[in-house]
């Protein structure tokens, strides 16, 4: 005879995905709370960038048009990943290097990778 024991988890489970559309309705019903993190609006994005950039780049950041930031589709996680990429590559955190890293991160996120290898 096999004894079955009920496993009880008395805690909070946090789960994340960037593919919620691939989960079926039965799975989604089992989550009590669902939170979607949308890309940052221009001014919150500017404020986040200001927090991570050296002070000497703050004036240049303030000169970036709001319309340019509005075209970006960036979350705080994208900014974190871009900062990690700069660190791994040994590049300084400056406005131009960060914006380049963010552009690459956006392309990766949206499946618009530049081709690898010879063209």
Whether 87 is in a domain gets the answer yes
Overall pTM > 0.85: no
Return the higher-pLDDT residue of 31 and 2: 31
Return the higher-pLDDT residue of 26 and 6: 26
Contact at 8 Å (CB) between 86 and 92?
yes
Whether 62 is in a domain gets the answer yes
- How many CA atoms lie within 13 Å of 89's alpha carbon, on the beta-carbon side? 13
Whether 71 is in a domain gets the answer yes
**Token pair recorded at residue 57:** 């780049």
Number of domains in the chain: 1
pLDDT the model gives residue 101: 97
pLDDT the model gives residue 18: 77
pLDDT the model gives residue 8: 84
pLDDT the model gives residue 15: 87
Whether 60 is in a domain gets the answer yes
Whether 19 is in a domain gets the answer no
pLDDT the model gives residue 1: 62
pLDDT tens across 57-72, in order? 999 999 999 999 999 9
Closest-CA residue to 86 (of 74, 104, 96, 101): 101
SS3 sequence, 21-88?
A: HHCCHHHHHCCCCCCCCCCCCHHHHHHHHHHHCCHHHHHHHHCCCHHHHHCCCCCHHHHHHHHHHHHH
pLDDT tens across 70-114, in order? 999 999 999 999 999 999 999 999 999 999 999 999 988 777 655
Q: Mean of the pLDDT values across residues 31-39?
A: 88
Whether 118 is in a domain gets the answer no
Q: Is 98 helix (H, G, I), strand (E, B) or coil?
A: helix
Q: Is 116 helix (H, G, I), strand (E, B) or coil?
A: coil
CA distances from 31 to 6, 7, 15, 16, 26 (A): 20, 18, 9, 11, 10
pLDDT the model gives residue 39: 93
Q: Mean of the pLDDT values across residues 47-66?
A: 97
Q: Show the domain range for 95.
A: 42-109
């Amino acid at each position: 005879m096999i004894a079955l024991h009920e496993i009880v988890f008395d805690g909070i489970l946090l789960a994340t995905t960037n593919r919620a559309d691939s989960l079926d309705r039965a799975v989604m019903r089992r989550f009590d709370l669902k939170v979607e993190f949308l890309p940052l609006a221009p001014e919150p994005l500017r404020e986040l960038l200001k927090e991570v950039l050296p002070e000497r780049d703050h004036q240049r950041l303030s000169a970036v048009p709001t319309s340019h930031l509005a075209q970006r589709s960036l979350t705080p996680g994208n900014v974190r990943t871009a900062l990690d990429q700069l660190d791994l590559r040994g590049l300084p955190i400056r406005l131009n290097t960060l914006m380049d890293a963010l552009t690459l991160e956006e392309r990766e996120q949206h499946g618009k990778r530049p081709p690898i290898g010879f063209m």
